Chain A
Amino acid sequence: MSDVITLTLRAPVARRLEVEGIAPNALATLDESDIARLPVWDGPHTVPLGDVFQVRGGRSDRVRVSGDLSMIDAVGAGMTAGELQVEGSVGRYAGTRMAGGVLRVAGDAGYGAGLEMTGGLLDIAGNAGDRLGAGRLAAARGMAGGEIVVRGNAGAEIGATMRRGTVVVAGDAGPRAGLGMIAGNVIVLGRAGEDAGRFNKRGTIAVFGRVSVPSTYRFACTYCPPHIAVTVAHLRTHRRLVIADDEPTARFRRYSGDMAELGRGEILARGEEP
């Protein structure tokens, strides 16, 4: 048993590999040699994990991965517990369907990070691609729990069809944030792209920078949303995000919508003037 299992990429990866199922909770029961024999998908075939990564340690739910994993997909997918720290960027679908534990990515994350996750924390220090915390295309539900924090920018359609949970983007978000949201929270500390909140049922989209509110939303009032104050205090305290000190009393314009759907959702736009 070791404190931390370390996986070090042996050589740069030229084509896409997939490591779904190689999660801290799974590695916690395996020795070093067993871990090295785990399958990594290379197209329709598998190769041993030990051929791709140098494995050190075993029987620990703390895993550290070194190297540029931007061509490796599904890092931390399905994890239910433990801590997975990636000291670089990751490919597509990082943290997909994760249900617990903490996945930290020191670099960027590709398309579909946190796709359909139900619990745990996905913390991305760099930027995230499209459909962060969303569902698979045409899936009825996206993210259903947990928390995603992106300290850089994020791509299009973040939080699309999400049902529960919170997606936080410290930078800017791309177009169609919260597309078809059922519920949950999308918090954008920077600007949000066009068409935020389309077909939103009961979700909250809070934008601290500029946001263009669709015409299917109706202005309600300007006020201090108390749940945003709690969210900001949580992000500042537990996620170490730098947010302006006046946030507990910050005013937001509340728009109810999408009236093309239930109309029980909201876009909260920081500031008293559009």
Chain B
Amino acid sequence: MRRFPSARAPDVQIRGVAIEDTFAEAFGMRGARVIITARDTRWAVEAAREMTGFATSVIACKVEAGIERELAPSETPDGRPGVSVLLFTMDSESLAKRLIERIGQTVLTCVTTACFDGLPDADERMSIGKSLRVFGDGFQGSKVINGERYWRIPVMEGEFLVQESFGKVKGVGGGNFLILAESDEAALGAAQAAVDAMRGAPGVVLPFPGGIVRSGSKVGGKRHKFMIATTNDAYAPTLRALTPSLLPNGVNAALEIVLDGLDAPSIAAAMRVGIDAACRAGVHSISAGNYGGKLGPHHFHLRKIMDEGTAA
């Protein structure tokens, strides 16, 4: 990714950290919310972690996913503790395939769990339980409760319950901001603070490990032409002397936070909270990755986002 700051922009700072006059460029995705419940939070989280494993980037994982938040028993369809997970794909058709794969391999297999749709108001629906039911080898059954069909699949511990229909919405992927810091320790501390602040933000997940990306990428490769994405050399501090660097003087490390969300306002709200938390000692500036506005329809202007937060 590149950044395209506008020239001669006035300086904007939060607690001494410059907010660059640039924007994060995000693109449309299709998203689903899956609610996993279990006998206790431990097993709901366990299933959710498995489900969101190897789901950092659609480039190689086919899906981006993360844990949205833990749910109290009063918030789940079966009155048990739960976790909500968001999953995103680039196209509409593949989202159902990814859900079937991941629910089938990571939730069906996990003790005491059940699996429900978290987007009951979504107009677009995916038939998920109907595909998973065949694991029951003819012994499965269904129940309609309050107008929703659920499949009961017999397993060695009892039954796995999965909802038939899951909602699908037009989501947003690739919201991001960059933390440019004086040291790797300062960058990590700020990134962790940002992730902690954004944790539980409604409708948003951070699909990368711990919510943080160190391997920010650019499109394609200069030497390895077959690569879809390669290292973002403009932000790699060890290449400062070898490549047209975008790292300001005094910056020795950069980390990226990537956000996927069910809608743009949710991403903007989370970015506002995260950027504010990242503005701390040792951080030089906050920037964002974009392609000059040519690739993604969603532009999150950092200063505008932070201004709206102040106004609110």
Binding site for B on A (CB under 8 A): 147, 164-166, 185, 202, 204, 221, 223-227, 229-234, 236, 238, 247-249, 264
* A230 pairs with B160, CB closer than 8 A: no
Known: A230-B150, A230-B161, A233-B78. A248 touches B73 (CB 8 A): yes
Known: A221-B158, A233-B77, A249-B39. A227 touches B146 (CB 8 A): no
Across the interface, which residues of B come within 8 angstroms of A225, CB to CB?
158-159
How many of B's residues come within 8 Å of A, CB to CB? 20
* A230 pairs with B158, CB closer than 8 A: no
* A230 pairs with B144, CB closer than 8 A: no
* A227 pairs with B143, CB closer than 8 A: yes
Residue among A166, A221, A223, A247 making CB contact with B145, cutoff 8 Å: A166
* B73 pairs with A230, CB closer than 8 A: no
Identify the interface centre among A185, A202, A229, A247: most chain B CB within 10 Å of its CB.
A229
Across the interface, which residues of A come within 8 angstroms of B77, CB to CB?
230, 233-234
* A229 pairs with B159, CB closer than 8 A: no
What is the CA–CA distance of A224 and B157 in the complex, to the nearest angstrom?
Answer: 10
* B80 pairs with A227, CB closer than 8 A: no
* A230 pairs with B152, CB closer than 8 A: no
* A226 pairs with B146, CB closer than 8 A: no
Residue among A147, A164, A224, A249 making CB contact with B146, cutoff 8 Å: A147
B146 to chain A: closest residue by CB? A234
Residue among A147, A227, A248 making CB contact with B152, cutoff 8 Å: A227
What is the CA–CA distance of A266 and B232 in the complex, to the nearest angstrom?
Answer: 60
14 A-B pairs in the complex with CB atoms less than 8 angstroms apart: A185-B143, A223-B157, A224-B39, A225-B158, A226-B158, A226-B159, A227-B143, A227-B145, A229-B114, A230-B78, A230-B114, A233-B76, A233-B79, A248-B80
Known: A226-B160, A229-B78, A233-B77. 18 other contacts (CB 8 A): A166-B145, A185-B143, A204-B143, A223-B157, A223-B159, A224-B158, A226-B78, A226-B152, A226-B158, A229-B80, A229-B114, A230-B78, A230-B145, A233-B76, A234-B145, A248-B79, A248-B80, A249-B80
What is the CA–CA distance of A180 and B157 in the complex, to the nearest angstrom?
Answer: 30
* B79 pairs with A232, CB closer than 8 A: yes
Known: A147-B146, A185-B143, A248-B73. A229 touches B158 (CB 8 A): no
Known: A229-B78, A232-B79, A233-B78. A202 touches B159 (CB 8 A): no
B80 to chain A: closest residue by CB? A248
Binding site for A on B (CB under 8 A): 39, 73, 76-80, 114, 141, 143-146, 150, 152, 157-161
* B146 pairs with A238, CB closer than 8 A: yes
Across the interface, which residues of B come within 8 angstroms of A232, CB to CB?
79
Known: A164-B144, A166-B145, A238-B146. A227 touches B79 (CB 8 A): no
A222 to chain B: closest residue by CB? B158
- Closest approach, in angstroms, between the C-beta of A27 and any C-beta of chain B? 25
What is the CA–CA distance of A248 and B76 in the complex, to the nearest angstrom?
Answer: 11
- Closest approach, in angstroms, between the C-beta of B60 and any C-beta of chain A? 35
Across the interface, which residues of A come within 8 angstroms of B143, CB to CB?
185, 204, 227, 231
What is the CA–CA distance of A202 and B114 in the complex, to the nearest angstrom?
Answer: 22
Across the interface, which residues of A come within 8 angstroms of B76, CB to CB?
233
Known: A234-B146, A238-B146. A247 touches B79 (CB 8 A): yes
Across the interface, which residues of A come within 8 angstroms of B78, CB to CB?
226, 229-230, 233, 248
Across the interface, which residues of B come within 8 angstroms of A202, CB to CB?
141
Across the interface, which residues of B come within 8 angstroms of A223, CB to CB?
157-159
Across the interface, which residues of B come within 8 angstroms of A226, CB to CB?
78, 114, 152, 158-161
A230 to chain B: closest residue by CB? B78
Known: A221-B158, A226-B159, A229-B78. A264 touches B141 (CB 8 A): yes
* A229 pairs with B141, CB closer than 8 A: no
What is the CA–CA distance of A130 and B24 in the complex, to the nearest angstrom?
Answer: 66
What is the CA–CA distance of A193 and B21 in the complex, to the nearest angstrom?
Answer: 75
What is the CA–CA distance of A232 and B158 in the complex, to the nearest angstrom?
Answer: 18
Across the interface, which residues of B come within 8 angstroms of A147, CB to CB?
146
